[in-house]
Structure 1
Amino acid sequence: MGQKAMDTFRKCIPLFQALSDPYRQDIILLLAEKEPLTVNEITDNLTLSRPAVSHHLKILRDQHLVTTVQKGTQRFYSLALDQAVGELKELIDTVENTCI
């Protein structure tokens, strides 16, 4: 395996870690179905506390999987998967071209 493949795998580790949690997966699926949503609306649809949901949203935001829009005192969350999908496509291309 070449250095490019290793670098691409390493670059995707934080994304894989963010996606590995079932609650974060639930948040992504919920937003895919009903976006945009506030923290309270997300909390109403999960079995987590509001602070726990906020924690998971921060991780998703840090990995550029969700974005926020402030409207008054409310913060609305939406999916922002373009960067993550691009990284995963790059990984797949690299694996196909260097590992198979």
Structure 2
Amino acid sequence: MDKEKTLSAFEAVMPAFGIFQDKKRQQLMTELCCKGELTVNELTATTSLSRPAVSHHLKLMLDAGVIKVEQVGVERRYSPNLEPVIKKLKDLTAALEE
């Protein structure tokens, strides 16, 4: 096992692990994965969270790179962005299995 490669792989995936420690963000991601694209208002309607709370969690998730946003007219539509996270998890798994 290449220790440096493994530590680097852990470091790369930690933002995603950290962001999903929160149950509310897990719930928001589940909604996004099930429905594809949603606005803040649509997400607020599917949870018990306030609109400001949903916006706060979405900002953290955007910063961690696990979701993406697209401006469509006056709406901002949020969707999962899991491909980079999955690649990092695969890299970590490969490093651990070496």
- Match of 1:41? 42
Runs of 4+ in 1 over 4 A off after TM superposition: none
Name the structure 2 match of 1:12. 13
Q: Return the offset for 1:73.
A: 1.2
Q: Provide the identity percentage.
A: 39
After the TM superposition, which residues 48-59 of structure 1 pair with which residues of structure 2 at under 5 Å, given as runs?
Answer: 48-59=49-60
Q: In structure 2, list runs of 5 or more residues that go unmatched.
A: none
Deviations, residues 10-55 of structure 1 (Å, cap 9, x unaligned): 2222111011111111111101111211000001111111111111
Aligned length: 97
Letter in 2 for 1:65: V
DSSP 3-state at the match of 1:78:
strand
CA RMSD, Structure 1 to Structure 2 (Å)? 1.2
Tell me the residue number matched to 1:30: 31
Q: Which residue of 2 aligns with 1:82?
A: 83
Unaligned runs of 5+ in 1: none
What's the TM-score, normalizing by structure 2? 0.92
TM-score scaled by length of structure 1: 0.90
Map Cα deviations across residues 67-95 of structure 1 (whole Å, 9 max, x no partner).
11111211111111110110111011111
CA distance in 1, matches of 2:16, 2:60: 10
User: SS state of the match for residue 69, structure 1?
Assistant: strand
Distance, in Å, in 1 between the alignment partners of 2:11 and 2:69 is 27
Quick one: distance in 1 between partners of 2:8 and 2:35?
Answer: 35
Q: Larger RCO: Structure 1 or Structure 2 (Cα < 8 Å, ≥ 6 residues apart)?
A: 2
